[in-house]
Structure 1
Amino acid sequence: WEKYDVSRYVGIGAVSPEEGTRTVDVSHYEKKYTTIKDDLEDLVKTSPPEKTIYLFHSPPYDTSLDRAALDEKMIDHAPVDSHVGSIAIKRFIKEEQPLVTLHGHVHETVDITGEWKEKIGETFSFTGVHNGPELPILRFDTENLENATRTLVEI
């Protein structure tokens, strides 16, 4: 999403969704006033979360899946948050408890945290990212999510 997360706040070092260029035209109103939170409120109405697998580019905020290599980084003497995930997605998972959520975005997170999966309530969240030349393959059975596996395949 190229939108604000839960409010019009943009963290230190982040780019406002109102700035930059886009490949698809978006109205001024949508850029300025809509959020990921708004979209998730609409999305949850389309299928029962407990039976749905959601694919989000962004990981949930403040988890082992959203750690970026930003430790001790400062911008204008202010520390940058090394957790770069979405607060809206984290709240969505906690409140709606979907069957599974799949994430990407932060390629170095597995190297930093050693984790590619996290359980939030009853929801299993997996990241398909990798910071190397191999292709990460996630395998899981929706009836046995605790036994999910991640394999790196040479390409």
Structure 2
Amino acid sequence: MQTLQLRLTKELIKKAQELVDQGLYSNKSEVIRDALRRLVFNEELKLKEKRSFLILFSSDFHGNIIQYKKFFIKAYEDKVDAVIIGGDIAPKDPKHRIIKQQRIFLEKHLIPLIKRFYNKNNKRNHACLTYLMMGNDDFKANMAFLEKHEEKTGFKIIHNKCLRLHENFKIIGYSYVPLTPFVYKDWEKLDLTNENEHIKRKGFIVEGKKSRGNHYIKVRFDLKKRTNTIERDLKRLLQCSSPSKTVMVIHAPPYNTSLDLASKGEHVGSAAVRKIIQEKQPYITLHGHIHETVDISKKFLESINKTICMSVGNDYMGENVAMIKFNIYNPASAEREVI
């Protein structure tokens, strides 16, 4: 502790002595220290309350254009500063679960919608970018097509990237999920580097197919070869930024939380995601993937130590869309709304 000499009026010294006489403080120095602490804290609090950068987040639209339109209307009306879409952007119904059909949806529907939103904001001199990534139901073969349009359309692809979001905040995106019971494996990986999936997961399959160009190739995961894992990827990505100033958009939610509950009440999130959150303590994490989790747990927000984790729990099957809005300077006050 350092010594600081102060010159105070007789009235202030008298007031300080009165507080000491009342037994509230042990001496006048303690009174002054406490007064300074309160002053600094209150000023910091006022500053935080004034600062604002609004984010609107959702995920798992699966090509539901009615939900998309509602989401972007809300973003425009609330004049948010950034829009984040956390994966599973293209249709997955039997008719459109084809590489070409998903690409047509991106070209004819999603990209024009984002461009109109971007242009409308430009006309009122309001900057608002859309940050998006694919999810496990999107074909990776269409990534090059999506990348071709991002600069001129008002969106940025965030998967496997570390980008500036606002001031000294950065945003990291990650699309991969642990092994699932489903056949399409473009965005699946082994989870932990040193633990076999059978310890925490049930019902997954190791054989499936991945998209290449306009066709598919067969794949099989070897559970013994654990060099290419979600855990390793996330550790590498976080090297680019200070975790305390990082918003991580990870399609899979952290394992064994209120954010990863499937229809039968089992936990199906990523153990690697949870491990990285516990070890690195990023500022905020945003998740999708498990549509029903919020309906089951009744929670969309959970703290893991200092990290605020949120899962939107959007059900693409209907017209109502779930979304989360929050101020980056006060994420604990985030609100989830279904429109």
Q: TM-score higher than 0.5 here?
A: yes
The structure, 1 or 2, with the larger RCO (C-alpha pairs under 8 Å, 6+ apart) is 1
CA RMSD across the alignment = 2.3
Aligned partner letter, 2:232: D
Paired position in structure 2 for 1:13: 203
| Aligned partner of residue 140 in structure 1, secondary structure | strand
Offset, 1:53 = 0.4
TM-aligned CA distance change 1:124 to 1:13, over 3 Å: same
> How far did residue 8 of structure 1 move?
3.8
Aligned length, in residue pairs: 141
One-letter code aligned to 1:124: I
Alpha-carbon distance between aligned partners in 2 of 1:63 and 1:70, rounded to the nearest angstrom:
15
- Where 1:53 maps in the other structure, the secondary structure is strand
Secondary structure in 2 matching 1:126? strand
Amino acid at match of 2:191: D
Q: Distance in 1 between matches of 2:232 and 2:297?
A: 30
Aligned equivalents of 1:130 and 1:89: distance in 2?
20
Q: Report which of the two has the higher share of helix.
A: 2
Could you tell me how far 1:69 is from its partner in structure 2? 1.2
Structure 1: how far apart are the matches of 2:237 and 2:305?
20
CA spacing shift, 1:115–1:29, aligned 2, 3 Å: closer
**SS class of match (1:21):** strand
Mapped partners of 1:46, 1:30: distance in 2: 30
Question: Which 4+ stretches in 1 moved above 6 angstroms?
Answer: 27-31
Structure 2 runs not aligned, ≥5 long: 1-175, 177-187
Structure 1 unaligned segments of length 5 or more: list them: 72-81
Structure 1 or 2, whichever has the larger Rg, is 2
Secondary structure of the residue that 1:43 maps to in structure 2?
helix
Q: Deviations over 1:84-136 (max 9, x none)?
A: 00111001111111110000111111111001111111111111222352111
Distance in 2, Cα, partners of 1:45 & 1:59:
21
Residue 86 of structure 1: aligned partner? 270
TM-score normalised by structure 1 residue count: 0.82
**Cα distance between partner residues in 2 of 1:20 and 1:39:** 22
Residues 112 and 142 of structure 1: is their aligned pair in 2 closer, same or farther, counting only changes over 3 Å? Answer: same
Does the CA contact (< 8 Å) of 2:252 and 2:270 recur in 1? Answer: yes
| TM-score, structure 2 normalization | 0.39
Q: Distance in 2 between matches of 1:50 and 1:98?
A: 5
